[in-house]
Structure 1
């Protein structure tokens, strides 16, 4: 570690989605003087979401980016020190813990709240990114409501894809499910439910060749990998359900994680295997991944951090 000046803080919050900002609100109100670094995507995944209709307190709905501006303003008003910058390295080998920002500045913290979120995995085709937010989504529970009475497609073969296909089948006229192989990875019970649902059509040995539409999703071109034939299906929405990648790589040498990189927390708490290090939001939640549950876990992390620092006589 270089001999550059090290800034010392009580509570360092890494990440700025609903979990990070909520943690900042609670930590600031508790006079813990939190410093929050926003990361590479200030506001998190909600900044690439259009209308949010299921967050309590917004009866008319709200645009995702606007909601995150509200979160940030509230945290700032409470006194949180919100900064642009990304955590690039950590040293949790001893306390106080150290976190490197933008490969140049080290922060020393009595407590750390990790709220770096998770990123949806994408197919990597141009039309997917161009139409993201205009009919392309990585969250059926978030956005399926907007496609009631329409035909949609979903790509994926695991339990999440099966669950989301079943969810969409209750809202949409037809769900076209694109599966890369001739079998699904989903559990047997989930496969059985999908195959027993009359308005879910499964395309085996298939992949997405192109999402069609100039300004919004109008259709999908599906390629059969067995015979290289293609067919175009008219749809209004396209859902990607091939998994999420938790943004946890820089912590792997110190923090316990599951096999896919989600941080393990003690059930009912935000506590990790290291005392004084807490995790909140999608980086430790692979089940719900909703703004409201992330915000709730951010609150838990701040309260856990406050109790920890108080017991140590640091606040």
Structure 2
């Protein structure tokens, strides 16, 4: 089915950058739509507590701020579509055609805000046991591990934030890190290292997940000695970075070798006039909620300026 309406701005992705772009675009009286294939909020929606967003000295629950962002964007007229965009094509009249499985949409501008997805370890049995003890979201799955022992892989802020959260349920949280020091912020390091439920294994990686119908353990490999050990655990939580959700625009806009969209010029415009990028999908993004929101604002204002000229 073809939706004959021509939109001013269509935004792909409903995380912090996408919903902020929607807020600013709709407040500028632009006909604005937003596509989100899962739930609005992106990574915020699966973050237990956001402690570094200005104006919330006690922190704010991730799902709460996501819901309020959506409500605010809808208040000013943004239309949310819970669907996946499958293709983008620029037409001769300089509008863009976006296709989902069931409809075609036309827009004068596009804002790419698809973000990034959790990176897997890509070790044997990881994929098979995802959802059966292997997880990439402590906020989503932590309660299933009440009274159990879990392993957390990673050394950045996400790994420690989620590891600390897991101590609410698990009796023991073992953080496995490939280096001998953490990359996380000092305050998170202090919290983790002083938590009696958290211990660390350094210079080590997970070689394999063990289990048939559920996680029963992992095989660990020390990178200095090359020695492997069997480590018994009930769950494996992986926080080793993200990969950009840019498959949709491969061959449409310029990217770097890792798949991040290049939009580093004025106004966050990509290599295609009328297409802008904001948030974690963009090469050079800082990967923080506050900067994602700022980029969403900038992309919307740039789209507005593009439409006015």
TM bucket normalised to smaller:
0.7 to 0.9
| 1:144 alignment partner in structure 2 | 160
CA RMSD of aligned residues (A): 3.6
Task: Show structure 1 runs of 5+ residues with no match.
Answer: 178-200
Task: Measure the CA separation in 2 of the matches of 1:234 and 1:81.
Answer: 42
| 2:203 alignment partner in structure 1 | 202
Task: Measure the CA separation in 2 of the matches of 1:163 and 1:221.
Answer: 23
User: Within the alignment, does 1:224 sit opposite 2:221 as a pair?
Assistant: yes
Deviations 1:60-98 (CA, angstroms, capped at 9, x unpaired) = 222211211000000011221222211111113641111
Q: How far 1:109 moved relative to its partner?
A: 0.7
| 1:163 alignment partner in structure 2 | 183
Q: How far 1:210 moved relative to its partner?
A: 6.3
Task: Measure the CA separation in 2 of the matches of 1:227 and 1:138.
Answer: 20
User: Within the alignment, does 1:132 sit opposite 2:138 as a pair?
Assistant: yes
Task: Measure the CA separation in 1 of the matches of 2:46 and 2:154.
Answer: 10
Does the 8 Å CA contact 1:127/1:210 hold for their aligned counterparts? no
| 2:175 alignment partner in structure 1 | 153
Secondary structure of the corresponding residue to residue 286 of structure 2: coil
Task: Measure the CA separation in 1 of the matches of 2:137 and 2:278.
Answer: 30
| 2:118 alignment partner in structure 1 | 120
Does the 8 Å CA contact 1:54/1:142 hold for their aligned counterparts? no
Does the 8 Å CA contact 2:14/2:41 hold for their aligned counterparts? yes
Pairing of 1:218-297 with structure 2 (within 5 A): 221-224=218-221, 228-231=228-231, 240-241=239-240, 243-267=241-265, 269-285=267-283, 288-297=286-295
CA distance 1:169–1:66, shift in 2 (3 Å): closer
Q: How far 1:57 moved relative to its partner?
A: 2.1
| 1:192 alignment partner in structure 2 | none
| 1:190 alignment partner in structure 2 | none
CA distance 1:231–1:14, shift in 2 (3 Å): closer
| Counterpart among 42, 47, 52 of residue 44 in structure 1 | 42
Q: How far 1:164 moved relative to its partner?
A: 3.9
Task: Measure the CA separation in 1 of the matches of 2:155 and 2:4.
Answer: 40
Task: Measure the CA separation in 1 of the matches of 2:252 and 2:50.
Answer: 35
CA distance 1:172–1:308, shift in 2 (3 Å): same
**What is the aligned residue count?**
273
Q: How far 1:167 moved relative to its partner?
A: 8.0
| 2:25 alignment partner in structure 1 | 27
| Worse-superposed segment, 5-14 or 254-263 | 5-14
Q: How far 1:220 moved relative to its partner?
A: 7.3
| 1:72 alignment partner in structure 2 | 70
Q: How far 1:223 moved relative to its partner?
A: 2.7
Q: TM-score, normalised by structure 2?
A: 0.75
CA distance 1:73–1:285, shift in 2 (3 Å): farther
User: Within the alignment, does 1:15 sit opposite 2:13 as a pair?
Assistant: yes
Secondary structure of the corresponding residue to residue 134 of structure 2: helix
CA distance 1:121–1:85, shift in 2 (3 Å): same
Q: TM-score, normalised by structure 1?
A: 0.73
Secondary structure of the corresponding residue to residue 27 of structure 1: helix
Q: How far 1:52 moved relative to its partner?
A: 1.6
| 1:57 alignment partner in structure 2 | 55
Deviations 1:33-74 (CA, angstroms, capped at 9, x unpaired) = 211112234321222221222212223222211211000000
